[in-house]
Copies of this chain bind each other. A is one copy, B any other.
């Protein structure tokens, strides 16, 4: 089948945003300030890549066709897809804090601590992370979910965003331990700081979508390659923009070699899933979009 990827992405984005709106406490509910801060970090948001990947992974193992109404697979993984977006948002809030990256702006608006103060920003990040695990646990209440898979997903997510994953990558990025930045070291930081969360989006979708071990493993490898490609594409956009100087692929190997690496990795990602029997066109298009991204200007993916 041929997919109108733009329409698909828009439709899924609306589905995800509606679910996020439903799951976040209302702004008026006391203590209102932290609920406002949580929503400020989520809306309007970017392209929702992470939940999109979770939904697509569930479709890829479920074999559901793409239709105007959200596929069954989508509904089954939606709470967990939202949770992974909450975790992404928490990591950005804490990353932006004065003690870490000290960024006053995020997507053209004030970062959370500039808008709400450092205290509320720290607690809003904590609250988003906490709510995320609560949401995954509630995925078990969704009809069709194999309840015994929930602890497995939570364990994988905790591993991916803990000190062996995302937080570990942040620490290594903050405290370079005096060594020269080599490509291997930069790749290790990228794989953990950005890649681990992207990879676990695929794994969670595949597990909750009822995928077998082999399918889960293929999608995990797709996520591994895609996550690194995504971060290199981000480095390329940073190198073109006004971003502050930091260790990056373009700084180490140049723009052209970096683009070549993105092309290799997105190609590898697509190859990983070539033997999947379910609906994989979305995942292929996402890989293509990352490659295109590395050739374009910075956006807010």
Contacts and interface: CB of A to CB of B under 8 A. Distances in A.
Contact of A163 (B31, B94, B150): B31
A167 B127 contact: yes
Interface residues of A, number: 53
A113 to B, nearest CB: 8
Interface string A157-186: 111011110011011101101000000000
- Tell me how many chains of this kind the complex includes: 2
Given A127-B163, A137-B150, A147-B147, 12 more contacts: A31-B168, A94-B123, A100-B119, A100-B123, A120-B175, A125-B126, A130-B162, A134-B154, A134-B155, A137-B152, A137-B158, A140-B148
Contacts of A167: 34, 123, 126-127, 130
Given A119-B100, A119-B174, A167-B34, A154 B133 contact: yes
Interface in A80-104: 90, 94, 97, 99-100
B134 A171 contact: no
Tell me what chain A mostly uses at the interface: helix, strand, loop, or mixed: helix
Contacts of A159: 134
A118 interface: yes
Given A122-B100, A161-B130, A155 B171 contact: no
Contact of A158 (B97, B130, B158): B130
B99 A33 contact: no
Contact of A129 (B35, B130, B147, B172): B130
